[in-house]
Amino acid sequence: MISLSRRRRAETPPPMGPVDLAYFRAARGVPLPTGFLFGFRGAPPPLDALRARVGGRGRRLPVLHHRIATHRPVVERADRFTVEEHVHEAELPDGGGMAEAGRLMLDRPLPSDGRPPWEVWLFHGPGDGYALCYRGDHTLQDGAGAAHTARFLLGDHPAGGPAGRRPAWPTPIGAADALGDMLSAYRPPRDPLPQAFTVRPAGRSGMCVADAPMARLRAIGRAAGGTVNDVYLAALAHAFRSWHLKTTGTPPPPLPVAMPMSVRAPGEELLPGNHMIMTRLLLPTDEGSPAGALERVIAWTGEIRRTRRRDATRLLLAAGPAAVGAAVGVRMVNGRRIAGPVSGMDLGGPLVHGGDTAVSAGMFTGLAGGVLCYTSLTGYHGTARLTLVHDLALRGVDALTEHWLSALDQLDDLRPSPR
């Protein structure tokens, strides 16, 4: 039995920031899973070897030694546990894949019995392959932090992951836009949700994925003067439009969503907490073509970058009490105002475990606050993976991944051929 409790003198538990508190309130104090799944070819490693690696490296990660107090928004130490309680294995059924593993990770509760809320899983299958998963509580860690934690715990040579972002001063327009965004949380919603999103949540989640070559998204973005993230969002807008038309027979208005944006600086890769902000976005689902959607997305994200609204929101949240920032966040990001978060992340270079290089990777997060879906684009080793987590009340939304791939085809057809 490997214990993780014998460590140097305990650090002081970190205080909860405004985004941490917002997630705590949205999830009603229940650990909200967020993490990464890595797929491999070949024979899986022995469970004991995986436990030995996680046990040895986990001693150095503060986020693995903290939890949220029961029914109270306070971070407390949680050292008395063993690695056998947190590192598990399971067999994926025939026909199951990353989506099936993801559904298991969404359905299974994280530890909440006094132990810290994190786990590592080894999945056998499907076929001649295996998967490794790290997942933790979103109240304690954002997606970028989870990515660095997963690479540190699982990689033969812990390195890589999302790049840190150096802070900057916003422009006056960026500051005004960020303040207006936050104040809008206390006004009635200006942009109603489309008809298909006005259903009552079922409280159970599904998950599906789709892959596309990263080079393809880069080429489409470069030809249009945009980024990979712009292409992802434009294709997603057209995919939601196609699904809504098929489901309801009516074209949707613009779809309100929230876009997470990391504010982790270099050197903060493994810090506990949510070092991120959310900014509101209207996906152009009213646009009839993917090309038109891409043009509008590029204009919006370009304005966000030019005015440095990300930094403006970061400074506004840091300037006030955490409880006030959390209240704004909960009012902005909930199922009455948005369809869900739309996230994107570049995981960097390949992850190697026991000499095997992961051939795929995807990020996932559970649903909270009444939102009905969550999408992410994970860039890894030349592949862009779209992950959709959705409430089962959304009828036929599994088709969204195929609609997204179809939108990419249409955007690719419009790209000028290389001479």
How many CA atoms does the CB half-sphere of 134 hold within 13 Å?
22
Task: Look at residues 274, 252, 258, 30 and name the one whose alpha carbon lies nearest to residue 146.
Answer: 274
Q: Where are the domains of the chain?
A: 18-154, 172-347+367-414
Query: Are the C-beta atoms of 368 and 353 separated by less than 8 Å?
Result: no
pLDDT value, residue 4:
47
Span 18-154: which CATH code? Answer: 3.30.559.10
Backbone angles phi, psi at 6, to 5 degrees: -90, 95
Check: CB of residue 73 under 8 Å from CB of residue 24: yes
Query: In 3-state terms, what secondary structure has residue 82?
Result: strand
DSSP 88-147: EEEEPPTT--HHHHHHHHHHSPPP-SSS-SEEEEEEE-SSSEEEEEEEEETTTB-HHHHH
- Look at residue 216 and give its three-state secondary structure: helix
Question: How far out from the chain centre does Cα 282 lie?
Answer: 19
Q: Which residues contact 242 (CB under 8 A, 6 or more apart)?
A: 403, 406, 407
In angstroms, rounded to a whole number, what is the distance separating the alpha carbons of residues 143 and 147? 6
Count Cα atoms within 13 angstroms, Cβ side, for 182. Answer: 22
pLDDT of residue 2: 37
Among residues 67, 78, 71, which one has the least CA distance to residue 4?
Answer: 78
Report which of 5, 401, 64 is spatially closest to residue 207, judged by C-alpha positions: 401
Comparing C-alpha atoms, which of 205, 196, 181 is closest to residue 242? 196
Sign of CA dihedral 33, 35, 38, 43: negative
β-pair type (87-91, 118-124): parallel
Q: What does the pLDDT read at residue 206? A: 94
User: Which sign, positive or negative, has the C-alpha torsion 390, 392, 398, 404?
Assistant: negative
Looking at residue 356, what is its pLDDT? 96
* Below-70 pLDDT ranges, the chain: 1-11, 95, 416-419
Q: Reduce the DSSP state of residue 211 to 3 states and report it.
A: strand
Instruction: Provide the angle, in degrees to the nearest 10, between the axes of the packed helices 322-332 and 18-26.
Output: 50
Rounded CA-CA distance 377/364 in Å is 10
Nearest to 370 by CA among 395, 391, 388, 342: 391
pTM recorded for the entire structure? 0.94
- Specify the fold of 172-347+367-414: Chloramphenicol Acetyltransferase (3.30.559)
Phi-psi region of 186 (alpha: psi -120 to 50; beta: other; left: phi over 0): alpha
Residue partners of 40: CB distance under 8 A and separation at least 6: 129, 130, 131, 132, 353, 356, 357, 358, 359
User: Using CA atoms, how far apart are residues 191 and 338, in angstroms rounded to an integer?
Assistant: 9
Instruction: Judge if 18-154 and 172-347+367-414 fold alike in CATH terms.
Output: yes
